[in-house]
Structure 1
Amino acid sequence: MNVAPRIRARTLGQVHVPTVTLSHGGGGKAMKDLIDDVFVRAFDSAALAPLEDQARFDLCDLARHGDRLAFTTDSFVVDPLVFPGGDIGKLAVCGTVNDLAVGGATPLYLSCAAIVEEGVTIDLLRHIAGSMAGAAAEAGVEIVTGDTKVVHRGACDKLFLTTTGIGVIREGVDLGAHLAREGDVVLVNGLLGDHGAAILSARGDMALTTPIESDCAPLNGLVDALLAAAPGVRFLRDATRGGLATVLNEIAEASQVAIEIEETETPIREEVKAFCEILGLDPLYLANEGKIVVVAPPEEVEAGLAAMRAHPLGARAAVVGRIQAGEAGRVTMRTVFGGRRIVDMLVGEQLPRIC
């Protein structure tokens, strides 16, 4: 195996002003000091240390984890940047890790590109970078390369992050929205809608006596446990923008099946239900950042549920519906009153700038 050469330790630069200026994006010493002080010091990765224009990996090391690469990228523009249960940094890491994990991949490496508005405080950037480092450590991944741009005041809203992730898919794992079959069961790993409600509450649109925190979390450990217990799982998806309803419609369309869920079995916090009723929102469309939707064959449902419930991020795992015979591509909900209503794909945006 090729071993990366030892990089001589160097003294990291430090920022001595309270806010970001345009000089921090100019490519000179001020930019080097910003990158060193905020990102290199927080991420502390051997692969990042050389500060080359790319991170380098040994292919033999990647191949130990599986036989196919998984590659994903996402941008994060959440408002506000810091919210109950997380911030844009934690959100960026968890969102990218989860996008890899639900494809059956072991997440390994992330990149981070930051677009920073002139005037953002250095302390806020340090907080965000520290949060990213903590989330990466929890998920067992490294942030190994990145980019920083500074734009004029007003050209962006404080901070935008783009993260890209690489993982390796385990041998024998094949997941896809097109694989659902009649008789399969739909599961989720816990309470839905907390992230969307937390963001809306943090914007000050409505004061809540009971604070709601985002469910933002890296789910790769939960997915590992689930796939070990139920290797026949057909599909996984993290229910982010568009929520549970959008994921179910994607499954129904891709597999040309009908899906029915039970309102009484769908786990939603009472505070979130009340919040949505007051504001005229549907919790089925609220974003989540720590919830997965699982389609499993009926013979593996109990094993899958038990594995998720044994994990801290799956204690409230539940069966919410089933794949049925019926009109292909249609999703319905059996309501608490015994009737049925169509659960269609979200049209437009319930809440903008949610992740």
Structure 2
Amino acid sequence: MSQTTSSSMTCPTPTINSGEISLSHGEGGRVMRQLIRDRIAAKLSDVQSSSDAASLGTLTGEIAITTDSFVVSPLFFPGGDIGSLAVHGTVNDLAMAGAKPLFLTLSLILEEGLPLGMLDRIIDSIANAAANCDVKIVAGDTKVVPKGAADGIFINTTGVGIHETPHRMSGTSIRSGDVLIVSGPVAQHGLAVLAARESIAFDPPPVSDSAPLQRVASELAHCLGPDLRTMRDATRGGVAAVLHEWAEETGLAMRIEQSRVPMTAESEGVCELLGLDPLMVANEGTFVACVATDRAAEAMEILAAHSLRGAPSVIGEVVQRQMSPVLISRGLGGDQPLDEPIHAMLPRIC
């Protein structure tokens, strides 16, 4: 029998492109540790990168918690990016419930081939947004998936906050005669993402309204108490989706006037050109509030003082239901039903 010569058995050294995310960045070894230490945790100083769980200390008060995932495409758009959007979206969910945001967790799903420079921009944006919102990012996780299994980066966040007032807002608190207020111009975020995704060269381009809402929400809750019936940020499905949710919860009808709905000239022009209903286009820094009639003027003063992109507006009122759950006056003589969004007019806007 002839003797065979055995060759040495070695494991191939992974090839790492220094300018891109590789699968090695998610394998738990030195490459992953360096990525987290140097490019993520170093910019998010509150992350306890050496521990699997963060210690939050003692929290006094009733705790609120929310979770959200962000898959917006493209990753960067006029007025924001997936990083700042993840912070704002989670902070706003707490704020709309009447809670003060305190802590966030941050989970990143990175696609193989994502440029490290792009990751750096997103982490910088997350850090800046968290600092602006006065929240701490205290824990996180990083995974890497093969090329084609994601779309650059997906982000998941969990937010923890404390209720600052004893009043708990709910759609069930809404009463007939209450007024409906929108905090600022509608439809900006969805149109900004649409234009960026499809490379539509509007001049000027639509700019997202992505912004934190906790300061204005906190002042409304403290000043109005139970007369602030409820609030909701008008994200997917826009203002129309919020109104239909409230109508379903209460058995009442939400009646609005189209002429009172605030819009920028740019957004109005884009909606007319593309045949979009602005009431169904997503927002990320605009919300709807339901307020007792005799406190509406006070609510408007608070909203106007915090406005960044345009004046708030009373768009309608809550009425007894006789026909449709949501009614709109379009200046054509009489009210018409406002349909509930059935599917996403534009998927992956957040």
TM-score in terms of structure 1 length = 0.91
Whole-Å separation in 2 of the counterparts to 1:328 and 1:38: 56
Change in CA separation of 1:312 and 1:266 when aligned onto 2, cut-off 3 Å:
closer
> Which SS does the other structure have where 1:143 is aligned?
strand
* Matched residue, 2:113: 119
Whole-Å separation in 1 of the counterparts to 2:169 and 2:50: 36
* Matched residue, 1:44: 45
Whole-Å separation in 1 of the counterparts to 2:286 and 2:51: 36
How many residue pairs get aligned? The number is: 334
**Is the contact between residue 244 and residue 340 of structure 2 (CA under 8 Å) also seen in structure 1?**
yes
* Matched residue, 2:79: 85
Deviation (angstroms), 1:315: 4.7
Change in CA separation of 1:50 and 1:272 when aligned onto 2, cut-off 3 Å:
closer
1:192 corresponds to which letter in structure 2? V
**Is the contact between residue 308 and residue 315 of structure 1 (CA under 8 Å) also seen in structure 2?**
no
More displaced stretch, 274-283 vs 77-86: 274-283
Q: Deviations over 1:287-338 (max 9, x none)?
A: 0000111000011111111011011447511101100122387101111333
Whole-Å separation in 2 of the counterparts to 1:238 and 1:51: 36
* Matched residue, 1:345: 340
Q: Deviations over 1:257-289 (max 9, x none)?
A: 111001110111222122122222111010000
Whole-Å separation in 2 of the counterparts to 1:27 and 1:131: 25
* Matched residue, 2:303: 308
TM-score in terms of structure 2 length = 0.92
Q: Deviations over 1:12-33 (max 9, x none)?
A: xxx9811100000000010011
Whole-Å separation in 1 of the counterparts to 2:274 and 2:323: 32
Whole-Å separation in 1 of the counterparts to 2:72 and 2:84: 11
**Is the contact between residue 189 and residue 314 of structure 1 (CA under 8 Å) also seen in structure 2?**
no
**Is the contact between residue 91 and residue 159 of structure 2 (CA under 8 Å) also seen in structure 1?**
yes
* Matched residue, 1:6: none
1:225 corresponds to which letter in structure 2? E
Deviation (angstroms), 1:94: 0.2
Whole-Å separation in 2 of the counterparts to 1:50 and 1:117: 21
* Matched residue, 2:175: 181
Percent of residue pairs bearing the same amino acid type:
42
Deviation (angstroms), 1:170: 1.7
Say if 2:144 is the partner of 1:145. no
1:92 corresponds to which letter in structure 2? A
Whole-Å separation in 2 of the counterparts to 1:286 and 1:200: 10
Q: Which has the larger radius of gyration?
A: 2
Whole-Å separation in 2 of the counterparts to 1:327 and 1:149: 52
- Mapping of 1:7-86 within 5 angstroms? 17-45=18-46, 48-59=47-58, 62-63=59-60, 67-86=61-80
* 2:259 pairs with one of 253, 264, 267: 264
1:206 corresponds to which letter in structure 2? I
**Is the contact between residue 108 and residue 142 of structure 2 (CA under 8 Å) also seen in structure 1?**
yes
More displaced stretch, 107-116 vs 168-177: 168-177
* Matched residue, 2:280: 285
Q: Deviations over 1:4-52 (max 9, x none)?
A: xxxxxxxxxxx9811100000000010011111221111111xx23531
Change in CA separation of 1:276 and 1:315 when aligned onto 2, cut-off 3 Å:
closer
Say if 2:222 is the partner of 1:228. yes
Whole-Å separation in 2 of the counterparts to 1:170 and 1:130: 30
Q: Deviations over 1:142-169 (max 9, x none)?
A: 1110100000000001110001100011
Deviation (angstroms), 1:349: 1.2
Q: Deviations over 1:230-249 (max 9, x none)?
A: 22201011100000000000
Deviation (angstroms), 1:339: 3.2
**Is the contact between residue 100 and residue 167 of structure 1 (CA under 8 Å) also seen in structure 2?**
yes
Deviation (angstroms), 1:206: 2.3
1:128 corresponds to which letter in structure 2? I
**Is the contact between residue 106 and residue 139 of structure 2 (CA under 8 Å) also seen in structure 1?**
yes
* Matched residue, 2:232: 237
**Is the contact between residue 107 and residue 167 of structure 1 (CA under 8 Å) also seen in structure 2?**
yes
- Mapping of 1:203-214 within 5 angstroms? 203-214=197-208
* Matched residue, 1:5: none
Whole-Å separation in 1 of the counterparts to 2:275 and 2:335: 20
**Is the contact between residue 210 and residue 283 of structure 2 (CA under 8 Å) also seen in structure 1?**
yes
2:249 corresponds to which letter in structure 1? A
**Is the contact between residue 209 and residue 309 of structure 2 (CA under 8 Å) also seen in structure 1?**
no
1:28 corresponds to which letter in structure 2? G
**Is the contact between residue 185 and residue 309 of structure 2 (CA under 8 Å) also seen in structure 1?**
no
Computed over aligned residues only, the root mean square deviation of the Cα atoms, in angstroms, reads 1.5
More displaced stretch, 202-211 vs 30-39: 202-211
Any gaps of 5 or more consecutive residues in structure 2?
1-15
